[in-house]
Amino acid sequence: VGTARDDVMSTTAMRSRLLANVARETWRRASSRTGRHGAKHPVRWRTAASSSSSVEVQETETFGDDVHAQHRILRLDAPRADVHYVSAGDDTAPTVLMLHGFPDNHATWRGQIPALVRAGFRVLAPDLRGYGRSGKAAGVVAYGPAPVTDDLAALLDHERVDSARAVVGHDWGAAVAYAFAARHPTKLQKLSVLNGVHPAVFLDFVLSNPTQFLKSYYIGFFQLPALPELVLSFADFAMLRVVFAIDPAKPLERSDVDELVDACSIPGALTAALNYYRAAGPAHSLWSDVGACPVPVQVQWGARDRYLEEKIAIPPADVAPLANRSIVRHPDATHWVQWDEPDAVSDALIEFLNEK
């Protein structure tokens, strides 16, 4: 029996390594292609030389029992996209910019917004480009690090925030946060990451580590056109509803799941969310070189994450030289650490924000 089991495990490992090698070679070949003028991966994003902006003030929402947040939409000229966000706390308080992941929106921070405001901070929590009520630019290249982070820089500019006390990111929001720190280093003082990784580190690791490669199987599926949208939206987004029901350690309330699904069902939202993965994929490779993070980094990690390996949680010194080399670990939390351990996450975040 033992020999048979060993043979099966050996065969599985060989298959995993083979898949990883095939994917790595495919990625290498795609990454070595040249553009019309011989340049690798010509980036077709151009920041507008000048732009105007205005804000539409919308409804008010209460987080916790006593923290009132205002929904706003920042209207931006193309090529930037409109940004829907909530603003909570005193406008003169130190600002924390909070970035959600896939397939989420600003409401993922419902457990942290009240604690941060009570601790004396202001929170700006946007829907990332393409998500929820934010603008949905057409095309995959519109979801590379430059356009996504430039929207956020415009948001801080409009809100007269010279430098946020911190940018906080979960999942894809962490990748965006790393890119924001690299592209706009003067606009933040610190960075806090929740179950997310530096995109360049992840892309290198996923092609060399069979375990992470198998955990990331869905990323390959998301590269396909149209089919992922059909599968994820089938039967009133049944697949997403199942994920939200069984994936977190503490399943979301039905009303919260309905809110998430409603945001994903806005025309164009699901395609936009998937375009982040496509922009990072071998056909575009826009997230493979976002640059180094020059500010202090805190990493909080739900140890029961089924999508990411903990060994790449802390970026190497050449990518984030000021990163804390120890993880704030939440042993009973999943990938959705901000949902599973809202108080513990908030406490660790506030402690980090208050450090000199």
Contact 190, 296 (CB under 8 A): yes
User: For 204, how many CA atoms within 13 A lie in the half-sphere containing its CB?
Assistant: 12
Q: Which amino acid does the sequence have at 238?
A: A
Sheet holding 328-330, edge to edge: 53-63, 67-76, 83-88, 122-126, 95-99, 166-170, 191-194, 297-302, 328-330
* Triad 7, 10, 14: Cα angle to 5°: 135
Q: How far apart are CA 278 and CA 49, in angstroms?
A: 27
State the catalytic residues: 171, 277, 335
User: How many angstroms separate the CA atoms of 71 and 77, rounded?
Assistant: 20
The whole-angstrom separation of Cα 166 and Cα 186 is 11
